[in-house]
Amino acid sequence: MTDPVRVTLESAADSASVRIYDDEGDVSTDDATFRFSVGGDRPESEPADTDEGPVADSEADDPRRIAPLADVPTKGTLRCEARSGNRGTELILRREGETVSAWRNSCPHKPAVRLDPGSGAIVRDDQLVCHEHGARFECGDGVCTAGPCRGDALESIAVAVRDGAVYLTDDRFDSCRRLTESAA
Ligand code: FES
């Protein structure tokens, strides 16, 4: 606080007045105490404000909600972008029954090559297939079982299915948006 402020506390039987130079303190009479804090933490004796501000977003407005479960394909992939601040990371999702797996949209053989270039990744015999050199990846753990990067694995992204929708649960990201609107 740059300029002093005079605070006066009056009750029926008493009156007290102080000049304040600090950002917090108190003024007391016989039967009342006025505690104050300017621009700082709330004094301990003051009850917390029960108004918690805006109501939490609905599920549909959750920035980590990716898509309805039914929109995630079994014979292809849904392409999305997960964001952390200003940084975006492309990921792809594939569904097996009620389970959804997600990986970074990048081939371990050549990271600049996207498994899903925009129309869905190739899925053959229940494996993802890189269109560039034919590497094949397990749809669960993303391990490459054949091709030039055999033994390497796709980078997994954590997602979860809740109430019929898929949500990003990977702590590295704070929001997600779809890049493909429809899926096969
Ligand atoms: S870039 Fe994917 S297998 Fe070569």
Mind listing the pLDDT tens digit for each residue in 18-46? 665 556 566 565 666 555 555 544 444 44
Give the closest residue (by CA) to ligand 1 atom 4: 133
For residues 74 and 133, membership in a common domain is answered with yes
Compute the average pLDDT of residues 144-160: 97
For residues 35 and 75, membership in a common domain is answered with no
Q: What end-to-end distance do the CA atoms of the chain give, in Å?
A: 63
Model confidence, pTM = 0.67
Residue 56 domain-assigned (yes or no): no
Angstrom CA distances, 111 to 29, 71, 118, 129, 157, stand at: 72, 26, 16, 14, 16
Q: How confident is the model at residue 180 (pLDDT cuts 50, 70, 90)?
A: confident
Q: Which of 109, 145, 154 to mutate to test the pocket of ligand 1 (most atoms within 8 A of CB)?
A: 109
Please state the atom number of ligand 1 nearest to the C-alpha of residue 135.
3
For residues 93 and 30, membership in a common domain is answered with no
Please state the atom number of ligand 1 nearest to the C-alpha of residue 107.
2
For residues 17 and 80, membership in a common domain is answered with no
Residues 122, 142: Cα–Cα separation, whole Å: 14
Total domains in the chain come to 2
Residue 23 domain-assigned (yes or no): yes
Evaluate if residue 2 carries a pLDDT over 60. Answer: no
133 lines ligand 1 (CB under 6 A): yes
For residues 37 and 74, membership in a common domain is answered with no
For residues 39 and 70, membership in a common domain is answered with no
Question: Range of 8's domain?
Answer: 1-48
